Structure 1
Amino acid sequence: MPLDTARPGSRPERLTAQEARRRLEHERASRLVQLKAIEEAGGEEGDHLMAAQKDSAQRVLKDIDAAFDRIEAGTYGTCQECGQPVPVERLEILPYARCCVGCQRRTA
């Protein structure tokens, strides 16, 4: 299972399920606030920037939901491309990351 319990006095190699959920909830809340602000701002009918921002926030929300699913399935923190662990530092910054940096670069 890719989620480990924290080891006292050392940096864990994996996020705990509780920590991963906390980070994902924070990201979800941030994106929902962002979407609300975009909707309240309204914008013009053809405002491409606002539409792009809204699409981006909605994509991230889908990625966050998929990360919650990976936690439940026991695959959170494992690269979906190569099967290796995603470094904890990457998950701390981008808790909904599906891939390690190397695989992300190859698929981008």
Structure 2
Amino acid sequence: MPKPTKAKLNKYRSSLLHSMQQLGAKMEHMEESVLRAEPDGGGDQGDEMNSEGNREFQLGLIENEDVMLADVRDALDRMLRGVYGKCGNCAVWVPERRLMVVPYARYCVECQTKSEAGELSQD
């Protein structure tokens, strides 16, 4: 696959910046929701356990969004360094179809599969 053109890079940059803005707003809303849902001690033990379970679930979602936000920031950094779109493992250019679906992709599909299976030395 060829290196992305300047026009394509601008398109991906816009998409990444939009994603970063959306993720930031979503995380802020989720964090506010978790803070508002703090138990007030007025319910019974079952209510408190349910509330705590929901809180843990929400915190897990926030953590997932935070990881995605870090991936988006990393992709923008790769753009600045001139290596955006190049697989971080095998150094082939990631296909445009993949970047359109996952603009923050760090690896080609083959290396992503290896990464998810724990087969890459660096992640």
Separation in structure 2 between the aligned mates of residue 59 and residue 2 of structure 1, nearest angstrom: 26
Q: TM-score, normalised by structure 2?
A: 0.73
Q: CA RMSD in A?
A: 1.8
SS across alignment from 1:80: coil
1:2 deviates by 2.9
Query: What CA distance in whole angstroms lies between the structure 2 residues aligned with 1:29 and 1:41?
Result: 18
Is the 8 Å Cα contact of residues 35 and 54 (structure 1) preserved in structure 2?
yes
Q: Using the TM superposition, give the Cα deviation of residue 44 of structure 1 relative to its aligned residue in structure 2, in angstroms.
A: 4.2
**Aligned with residue 107 of structure 2, among 78, 89, 99:** 99
Q: Encode CA deviations 1:40-77: one digit per residue, 9 max, x unaligned.
A: 21244742211111111111111111111100111000
Deviation, structure 1 residue 5: 4.0
Structure showing greater Rg: 2
User: Unpaired segments of 5 or more residues in structure 2?
Assistant: 40-51, 117-123
Corresponding residue for residue 28 of structure 2: 36
In the TM superposition, 1:1-108 aligns within 5 A as: 2-5=3-6, 16-42=8-34, 43-44=37-38, 46=52, 47-108=55-116
Letter in 2 for 1:4: T
- 2:105 partner SS: coil
Aligned to 1:13: none
